[in-house]
Amino acid sequence: MISDYEQRLISLRPRLLAFARLQLRNSDEAEDVVQEALLVATTNQDSFDGRSQFETWVFGILKFKILDVFRSEKRRAYWLTDSGDQWQDELDKQFRENERWQDDHRPQDWGDPEAILASSHFWRVFDACMIHLPDVPARVFSLRELMEVDIEEICSILNISENNCSVILYRARMKLRQCLEKGWLTEEDA
Amino acid sequence: MLTCQQATQLMSSRLDHEMPITKKMNLKLHLMMCKSCRRCDDQLDLIHQAGKQWYQRVIEEQATKSNDPEK
């Protein structure tokens, strides 16, 4: 017999998994980490004080478990192996030799920020662009912007220099900007 | 005088930590004169906000689905 509590956890599972997959970008590891988080939530039912929202509490446990994965020493080399410089070249092409914008890469007007964030089209584009980011910048970006870990902590978790971390974040943001602009402005009617 | 590429690097780094006053002034000056960089700055800022909201959306989407029998 499944209790209501367990039922709530089971119904949360798909969202937890989607979240973990986006962070870790590896299905097996995402499955493992969600299993661990669910186990903690099941065995520590008493520590849920009811003041925070149940979902927020479970996602908090998952966040903690994901950070643990990033911390594990033997994964680091793998986390930080970039697939190549190709996407970096693409970014540099936005600027001319004198480091000013290329005319056809100048940022366009996106319209009212509040309207953008309220648009489900924007969020679909955002998810698609996140998936298209190369693994390394996507992981660092997720830690910083989606999980709101501060930069000093990211450097210490991944054991990289702050400068290195800033460069990765810069490139992730610029790449995401480029992708969002394309998706947001061209398919607005869709 | 900052180039546009340097300006974009400062825009990104100020989302992560407090910037020294000289860099802040240099960026401000560049933004006053460069429309493309102003847009880029607004957009990076929007991405920063979107990141925060994204996490909240993931949680709330589930909350609405599981707690609201009307839907």
Stretch (H or E) spanning A17: helix A4-24
Closest Cβ–Cβ partner in A107, A146, A150 for B43 = A107
Mean pLDDT over the full length of chain A: 86
Mean pLDDT of all residues in A20-30: 88
Q: Which residues of A touch B66 (CB under 8 A)?
A: 8, 11-12, 55
What domains are defined for chain A?
Answer: 4-71 (1.10.1740.10), 78-186 (no CATH)
Please tell me the pTM assigned to this model: 0.86
Please answer yes or no on whether A55 and B59 come within 8 Å at the CB atom.
yes
**ipTM higher than threshold 0.95:** no
Domain boundaries, chain B: 4-67
For A62, residues 6+ apart whose C-beta sits below 8 A from its C-beta are: A16, A19, A20, A33, A34, A37
Please answer yes or no on whether A174 and B48 come within 8 Å at the CB atom.
no
Closest Cβ–Cβ partner in A101, A108, A169 for B12 = A169
Mean pLDDT over the full length of chain B: 87
Q: In a mutagenesis test of the B interface, which of A149, A170, A180, A181 is the best target, namely the one with the most B β-carbons within 10 Å?
A: A170
A101 - beta bridge partners?
A: A95
**pLDDT interval class at B12 (50, 70, 90):** very high
Q: A34: which 2 tokens?
A: 């969600």
φ and ψ at residue B69, rounded to 5 degrees: -70, -15
